[in-house]
Amino acid sequence: MPVDIALPSSVRIEPGAGGLPRLSINSRQGSAEIYFHGAHLTAWQPASASAPVLWLSRESVFAENKAIRGGVPICFPWFGANVADPKAPAHGFARLRAWTLLDAQEDATGVVSITLGLESPDMFQAQYRVEIGPSLTMQLQIHNPAQTPFTFEEALHTYFAVHDVRNVTVSGLEDTEYLDKVAGFERRIQPHEAIHFTAETDRVYLNTRTACVIHDPGARRTITINKTGSDTTVVWNPWIDKARAMADFGDHEWPEMVCVETCNVGDYARTLVPGESHTMTAIISVS
């Protein structure tokens, strides 16, 4: 992976799993790993945390033709199946491409900012900035360099590590409408209570800009997901059967994770006129 960017001492490029090159970040603010493959953040642990915040499957494949299972897959320029092309990869191709390192900085307090880019000249330019500090900021900016409008879906499909999802709740989406993928995308309303997990859960919450909080009493921590530039939030746990059906997901791993995904999907896809840009940001903090 040729890189002509000067790296701060806290940032190294090294061979990762499967020999895929990755950025390894270790500063006084914490540690992280980002693969060039998919600009895929696979690990983050702030100095204040006693355990990793992101979940990564022990069965994940690390190969150029496969998405990494866990961390933060970037779903772009579509989410889920591509209705126009059933043979196209689920969740778009951005997580299957090698991104380019555009910048790496460390500030006086040890906060490290990494910027990676991906472009398809006549379609889009994507820049992804990851800031590793006391909190984690992930910022996906999409620019339309073409002469025609560009419509896309996007998701930061974040897998969070939890002690046991059966004892976890997610607040912030009370009274919010959602599409229930487990029930054929039926439209439902979240009651005035936090989400709790008793079976496969796969929901697209609509028209919501609120912060979500993962309450994880087993790990004695809460994880807060603030967001800007995002109108939908996906919440997912595969539970037993779906976990067993995925080769790159351990049969017994499903209690260890929950996805809370910052996104713009479905009716909330974005359209950029020529020359326009859009930024979606997720800010993750642990307490």
Contact 181, 202 (CB under 8 A): yes
- Should residue 153 be labelled a site residue for ligand TA6 when binding is judged by CB under 6 A? no
Let me know if 40 is a catalytic residue.
no
DSSP for 164-179 reads -GGG-EEES-TT-EEE
Residues numbered 164-183 forming contacts with ligand TA6, rule: CB under 6 A: 181
Let me know if 157 is a catalytic residue.
yes
Give φ, ψ of 15 to 5 degrees.
-70, 130
Residue closer to ligand TA6 by CB (options 97, 115) is 97
CA distance 188 to 107: 45
Contact 140, 228 (CB under 8 A): no
Please give the DSSP secondary-structure letter assigned to residue 95.
G
- Should residue 227 be labelled a site residue for ligand TA6 when binding is judged by CB under 6 A? no
CB of 248 vs ligand TA6, minimal distance in Å? 8
- Should residue 66 be labelled a site residue for ligand TA6 when binding is judged by CB under 6 A? no
Neighbours of 279 (CB within 10 A): 14
Residue closer to ligand TA6 by CB (options 144, 201) is 201
What one-letter code names the amino acid at 270? R
- Should residue 67 be labelled a site residue for ligand TA6 when binding is judged by CB under 6 A? yes
* Tokens encoding 9: 């001492």
Active-site annotation holder among 131, 157, 253, 256? 157
- Should residue 202 be labelled a site residue for ligand TA6 when binding is judged by CB under 6 A? yes
Active-site residues: which are they?
Answer: 157, 261
Name the site residues for ligand TA6 (rule: CB under 6 A).
Answer: 67, 80, 90-91, 157, 181, 202, 234, 236, 259, 261
